[in-house]
Structure 1
């Protein structure tokens, strides 16, 4: 863990050394064996070839966070800058990421865990398609749980995946689903949502990364829409347009930003938390010490107490927010 801060907080500069370091740890024989030992099924949740999810089932001896009740569900929406990302990414050898997340959450923390693929811009993604696909996964889950005891669900989005989660929580198209799930009126109860390293604003005109600018324009539609549909602005519109107290129809939100995330992510995450709290939302802003933009999710499954501590703390904070 001590080496991660030395990589700095510039996103591009942190990517390669972070992947190399954490890939080597995940590929230690004891870690690779544990990750591959977790029961894993790949299932379709929709019609597109990208509409697949990996379902990780906890071993029988795993702790049950719900006690004697049905195991809770954890949904992970990975990042990738709207262009990359997959349930299994090539940057980590041996196909261990993001199976590391599924294995850690299932066997160590006891959650039935879903890692969902979604369309990127190379597969025709256009705003708000990320929200569409999260909604589809919840629909798949509801159908799967019909007639069974109600189950608690937590959702976490990382980086671009966090943008998709906030889109789903606040775009009007998903109001019915989000309200139903938050209220627990159906077969699922959405307990809380987490953004880890989420970009709440893009500051498009201030960007020096022209490649990212082109990706954002492709996804959002044009330069104006990039900033108009940034997560904080989507939430702003929901707050301003709602005839009811929108905060009562949304789950608690944990805004987790790494100490060495890019500065604009740290700044915009804090701003979002302040705006949502002022609107009456239940929210917590948390600086994850010692981590950068890449390291949190890749530390899950490394077996190190310090490396995995943040994930234990995240779930504790989510559970505390939910009660």
Structure 2
């Protein structure tokens, strides 16, 4: 953990050394063996070839966060800058990421865990397709849970995945789904949502990364829409159109930003939390000490107490927000 701060907070500069460091730790035989031992099924949730998810089931001896009830569900929406990303990423050898997240959440924390693929721009993704696919996963889950006791669900988005989660929470197209799930009127109860390293504003005109600019234009449609449909602006529109009712129809939100995330993510995450709190939303802004943009999710499954502490803390904070 002590080496991660030395990589700095510039995103491009942190990527390679972070992956190399944490891939090596995940590939230690004792860690790889644990990750691969977790029960995993790959299932379709929709018609596109990218509409696949991995479902990780805890071992019987794993703690049950719900006590004697049905195990809660944890949905992980990975990042990748709208262009990359997969349930299994090549940057970590041995096909261990993001199985590391599924294994950790299932066997260490006791959650049935879903890691979902979704379309990227290379598969024709256009805003708000990320929200569409999160909605499809919830529909898939509801159909599987018909006739069973109500099951609690938590969702976490990382980086671009966090942008998709906020899109889903606040775009009007998903309002009825989010309202139903938040209220627990159906077969599922959405307890809380987490953004980890999420970009809430893009500051498009200030960008020096022209490659990212081109990706954002491809996904959002044009330069104007990049900023208009940034997560904070989507939430702003929902607040303006729904007034005080908006906070009653959304789940609590944890805005987690790493100490060494890029500055614009730290700044925009804090701004979003302040705006949502002022609108009556239940929200917490949390600086994850010692981590950068890449390290949190790759530290899950490393077996290190310090490395994994943030994930234990995240779930504690989500549970506290939900009550």
Which TM bucket (shorter chain)? over 0.9
8 Å Cα contact 2:26-2:96 kept in structure 1:
yes
Query: Post-superposition shift, 1:231?
Result: 0.0
Report the Cα distance in structure 1 between the residues aligned to 2:243 and 2:318, rounded to whole angstroms.
28
Report the Cα distance in structure 2 between the residues aligned to 1:89 and 1:315, rounded to whole angstroms.
24
Query: Post-superposition shift, 1:63?
Result: 0.1
- CA displacement 1:133-156 (0-9 Å, x = unmatched): 000000000000000000000000
Match for residue 249 of structure 1? 249
- CA displacement 1:280-323 (0-9 Å, x = unmatched): 00000000000000000000000000000000000000000000
Coordinate RMSD, CA, aligned: 0.4
8 Å Cα contact 2:74-2:154 kept in structure 1:
yes
Query: Post-superposition shift, 1:244?
Result: 5.1
Query: Post-superposition shift, 1:234?
Result: 0.1
Report the Cα distance in structure 2 between the residues aligned to 1:90 and 1:80, rounded to whole angstroms.
12
- CA displacement 1:167-212 (0-9 Å, x = unmatched): 0000000000000000000000000000000000000000000000
Report the Cα distance in structure 2 between the residues aligned to 1:306 and 1:129, rounded to whole angstroms.
36
Query: Post-superposition shift, 1:245?
Result: 1.4
Report the Cα distance in structure 2 between the residues aligned to 1:303 and 1:223, rounded to whole angstroms.
43
- CA displacement 1:243-270 (0-9 Å, x = unmatched): 5510010000000000000000000000
Report the Cα distance in structure 2 between the residues aligned to 1:150 and 1:39, rounded to whole angstroms.
23
Report the Cα distance in structure 1 between the residues aligned to 2:244 and 2:304, rounded to whole angstroms.
46
TM-score normalised by L of structure 2: 1.00
8 Å Cα contact 2:247-2:282 kept in structure 1:
yes
Report the Cα distance in structure 1 between the residues aligned to 2:50 and 2:133, rounded to whole angstroms.
10
Report the Cα distance in structure 2 between the residues aligned to 1:17 and 1:315, rounded to whole angstroms.
27
TM-score normalised by L of structure 1: 1.00
Report the Cα distance in structure 2 between the residues aligned to 1:146 and 1:299, rounded to whole angstroms.
35
Unaligned runs of 5+ residues in structure 2 are none
- CA displacement 1:203-230 (0-9 Å, x = unmatched): 0000000000000000000000000000
4+ runs deviating over 6 angstroms: none
Aligned length: 323
Query: Post-superposition shift, 1:233?
Result: 0.1
8 Å Cα contact 2:244-2:279 kept in structure 1:
no
